[in-house]
Amino acid sequence: DPPQLVIDLDPNEIERKKAQRLYRLNVVQIPTLRILGFCLLTFCIFFHNLFILNLSSQPSIFAIASIVTSYSLLSWLILYLFFENIKKIDISFTFLVGDVFIWTLMIYYSGGEKSLLFWLMVLRVADQINTSFKRVLFFGHLSVVCYLGMLVYLLYVEHRPLSIRHELTKILVIYGSNLYIAITARTSEQYRNHTASAIRVARDLILQLNEKSRQLEESKATVEQLSRQNELILHSAGEGIFGLDLHGRATFVNPAVAHMTGYTIEELLGQRMHALLFHSKADDTPHAWEDCPVFATLTTGAVHQYGEGLLWRKNGTNFPVEYVSTPIREGEIIVGAVVTFNDITERKRAEQALRLTRERYTLAVNAGKVGVWDWDIESGHIYLDPLLKALLGFEESEIPNKIEAWASHVHPDDREGVMMGARDHLDGKTPHYEIEHRMVHKQGSIRWFLARGTALRDPHGKPYRLLGTDSDITERKEVEVALQRAKEELELKVEERTIELKRVNEQLLADIVMRRRAEVALAVEARFLRAQTEVAKVALSSLRPEELAQPLIETIGRAQGYAYGALWRVGEDGHTVTMVAAFGEGAAPCVGMSHDLNEPSSYTALIIHTGQPAFRNRIWESPYGCHDITRTLNAQALLGLPLINRTGRVVGAMTFADMADADRFTARDLTQGTVLANQVAQAIENSELFSQVNRLQEQYRVVTEALNDAVFTLDAEARFTFGNAAGERLTGYRLDELLGRSFMDLVAPENLPELTDRFRRAIAGEAIPPHVWAEMIRKDGGRVPIELSMANLVLDGRIIGRVGVARDITDRQHAEEQIRASLQEKEVLLKEIHHRVKNNLQIISSLLNLQSKYINDPPALQMFIDSQNRVKSMALIHEILFRSRDITKIDFAEYIKTISVQIFRSYGAYSKKIGLEVQVKDIMLDVDAAIPCGLIVTELVSNSLKHAFVDGREGSINIKLFTNNFSTLTLIVKDNGIGLPHHIDLQHVDSLGLKLVGALVNQLGGKVEVDSTFGTTFMITFVHDKHKERKDEYDSRSDHGC
């Protein structure tokens, strides 16, 4: 039999064999033949020179032999070592080119133009005939060029006489032979190429057939495997799955259905499933087959999802489920349906437990002013409790969840200490992270915080998270600082005590107002949360917000018949809005687009800013018609619906458009759209809340354990149901000893009636103050004074107990008692000083009075009377302060009336026809302002009595003191006498009294105006710090609604 042609179809094997042949050819065969050829050529040259050229001496034959041998061995060694390692150049081809130059050198040594070995110039072309046409053609021309180079060397270097005719004949013979060989090589190359191409085509066809056969076998195995997997999935699925025919009879049932309903599979197959499982509603009223969503699926072919259904077991009990009915089709014909359902009993219980846990957590952190934070050290992301941001006056979106953003609000002087404390804990130097530091409030004020935290570490001890709490201890710090400052400053200046007490009072009033606002906000949020009823059916398909957006917007669009719709979400920075889902022709490329909320042409920005639904027909007539998306979609009318979460914040919007009808939208679209928007907002928010459950539970545990105050919960009978570690330290009892024990057992007997009554009234729903002071009896019998804050625990509108925070105030009571004793001692000392100063001034006044009786000169006597009145005015102030309960300020109305009567008496004018009217009400001045004002009144009244009413004229003197804008006081002393000269200058007068008035006005930092139109009027205006404080207090109360 003829031998069969075997073709190897493996490409890798073909390439491997090809490389082996190429290596053997270039490294073994060609170098061997080169050595043998060059040896033969050397002998030919020897005999050629000896017999043809008659050269008996061979001086250069040994040189030729040496060159040829060295070149052959060197080329073989290089090929052996570097043929497979050097890929950039073809080493074998390089040596083939070198052979041409060696042959040219042999022709030169064998006689040059006389040598008969010129035929060597066609050997290289001949041995390349089985290679490519280009390669043959290259060597053909290279041989001719080398031979021509040798002739040029002989002609111009050695100056040999050459016969051009003979040499041209040789060149033509060489070039013609090479050209003929090249043409022959071209034909051979084409034949080889055709043969190789045919082999490659055949090989590719065979490979394709083998691949198709392999794929067919894999497809068969996959189909069989899928069939087995489907059967296993149906029997192992935890969900109940059963199939129905068009009459509602069961065609297949998986074991989960039998397990959940109590029937066997044989009892269910062939039976009407509605009569067995869906026959009644929760109130035992019949559930008609025609009203069942499964019937709608069999009749309409639509997929129906039912969020909270009811299934009946064989024993007559029922359980809640959510189920989906899907039609089975053969082509376009409905032949049955598949119903899939889940038992959601456990989920119902989990939702109720979640509500209770969330309420406990919210009440605990609000009562203790505690915020939770969670720092991911590797990413730099930090979770900040919204309450923590609210304690600094910020909204949740105003502070990004980045560690750098939160650190920027730490007081600059405390920032390094806070970071050093965190680093020490992360480096393992401290067991816990705990530090007191200051934070900068949004309004610029300083708040004190107590930060506590614990690091979570990997198995190698490297920290990757830091969790903790920040407690607002501003009130405690301010009380400590205020008490210490009051104790120190009272030793230097007692009157500053009033300023500090007012400041503390203002701060306490501001805190009360802020707490009331927080309570009102919580009540509004609770009412708003209870108003939310259910989520759209499509929301049950997934609990992931990113998966809900697209089906929600498409469902609303189909139900309302809108041509285009989009769902937008507000960014975390609160300044941008992004399209997260869209439907309609040409809308898909717009998903992911964002724009600024301040963009005037954005209708979405308008809806988010106002928070109200609206529609705009004939959109091209409004500024919103020029928006890029509106023009791209060629929208004629727009409808916008805000998405508002439970806290009332706008988190996004839905927009719908019509491209054909410019008057598409009406008020009905607003009403229906508002309901749909509320459902969408609730669905998205519920899915986000579900992902926060585990984190909230962890945060609740960390918060209660990190608090320094005792946190506990009581049931309706005042028994402990929860407590933290601080509660164990405060009471001395372990937690297992406290649970179930009555809270009243720990209350001191004298406080027991009050706390029992407060607890009973609070459980009954009566509003009572949350704070109370009492004494607690520890396990060891010791008494501890505590500050107790409590609030009601409410579940589904019913009070089930109370939550409380107890703080040990032993140290604070001791500090307050010491300060009160010190203040009482210094007040007694100051009253004694005022009494002695008043007595000394009275002695001076009496001495002046005695001395005046021995003076006969009227001007001198008048000077004594004026000085006596001035001393009396100052003595009267100290007398009033000595009698007053408040030793830092006096009633200026009483003072003015008394000093005026004394002046009238000193001039003997009390019984004459000069009236006195004093109009000063509710003006309290301190000593620094009362003394200058009293002296000014004394001088001006004395001046009026002496000079205004000459010749016994009748008249009146009027004194007024009133406030203009709380901080500015105006004093007016007016008479209707003869008046002063016009353009009088108080700085350049001869009267000592008027000069003294000007100096006293300057001392008060005020200004004086004189009017002599009708009598004389002195109007003095000055700023008083005490009244400025009253204005600040009034402004503060106005800001807080007081």
User: Hey, what long-range contacts does 33-39 have (CB within 8 A, 24 or more apart)?
Assistant: 34/72, 34/75, 34/76, 34/95, 34/99, 35/69, 35/72, 35/73, 35/76, 38/68, 38/69, 38/71, 38/72, 38/102, 39/68
- 157/554 Cα distance (integer angstroms): 95
pLDDT at 715: 92
pLDDT of residue 348: 81
Tokens coding 306: 């039912």
- Rounded to 5 degrees, φ, ψ at 434 are -150, 125
Report the pLDDT value the prediction gives residue 2, as an integer from 0 to 100. Answer: 46
pLDDT of residue 837: 61
pLDDT of residue 249: 92
Domain boundaries, the chain: 11-207, 237-343, 538-694, 709-808, 888-1034
The percentage of the chain sitting over the pLDDT mark of 90, rounded to a whole number, equals 4
User: For 429-439, how does the pLDDT look when each residue is reduced to its tens digit (9 = 90+)?
Assistant: 898 888 888 99
| Domain 237-343 matches domain 709-808 at the CATH topology level | yes
Q: Indicate the burial class of 237 (C-beta count within 10 angstroms; 0-12, 13-18, 19 or more).
A: middle
Residue 719 has pLDDT above 90, yes or no: yes
Contact 436, 419 (CB under 8 A): no
- Place 200 in a pLDDT band, splitting at 50, 70 and 90: low
- The upper half-sphere exposure of residue 795, i.e. CA atoms within 13 Å in the direction of its Cβ, equals 15
Q: Report residue 162's pLDDT band, with 50, 70 and 90 as the boundaries.
A: confident
| H helix intervals, 369-436 | 386-391, 403-407, 412-426
More confident residue, 492 or 90: 492
Contact (CB, 8 A) for 506 and 1030: no
Domain 709-808 fold is Beta-Lactamase (3.30.450)
Quote the CATH superfamily of domain 888-1034.
Answer: Histidine kinase-like ATPase, C-terminal domain (3.30.565.10)
Beta-sheet pairing, 955-963 with 914-920: parallel
3-class DSSP string for 799-861: EEEEEEEEEECHHHHHHHHHHHHHHHHHHHHHHHHHHHHHHHHHHHHHHHHHHHCCCCCHHHH
Quick one: average pLDDT of 253-270? 88
Q: Is the pLDDT of residue 310 over 80?
A: yes
Around Cβ 212, how many Cβ atoms within 10 Å?
10
Q: Measure CA 740 to chain center.
A: 42
So what's the pLDDT on residue 528? 34
The neighbouring-strand residues paired with 786 are 774, 808
Selected residue with higher pLDDT from 902 and 319:
319
The DSSP output letter for 581 is: E
Task: Indicate yes or no: pTM above 0.75.
Answer: no
Give the least confident one: 148-157, 896-905, 967-976: 896-905
- Count other C-beta atoms under 10 Å from residue 811's C-beta: 10
pLDDT band, residue 1038 (cuts 50/70/90): very low
Of residues 296, 317, 316, the one with CA closest to residue 306: 296
At residue 1004 the predicted structure's pLDDT band, cuts being 50, 70 and 90, is confident
The predicted pLDDT at position 1039 comes to 39
* Lowest mean pLDDT, pick from 383-387, 458-462, 533-537, 799-803: 533-537
Q: Which residue has the higher pLDDT, 741 or 132?
A: 741
What fold, for 237-343?
Beta-Lactamase (3.30.450)
- pLDDT for position 1030: 42
Question: What's the CATH fold of domain 538-694?
Answer: Beta-Lactamase (3.30.450)
Question: Where is pLDDT greater, at 320 or 632?
Answer: 320
Q: How many CA atoms lie within 13 A of 874 on its CB side?
A: 17
pLDDT at 823: 60
pLDDT at res. 753: 92
Top mean pLDDT of 88-97, 872-881, 993-1002 is at 993-1002
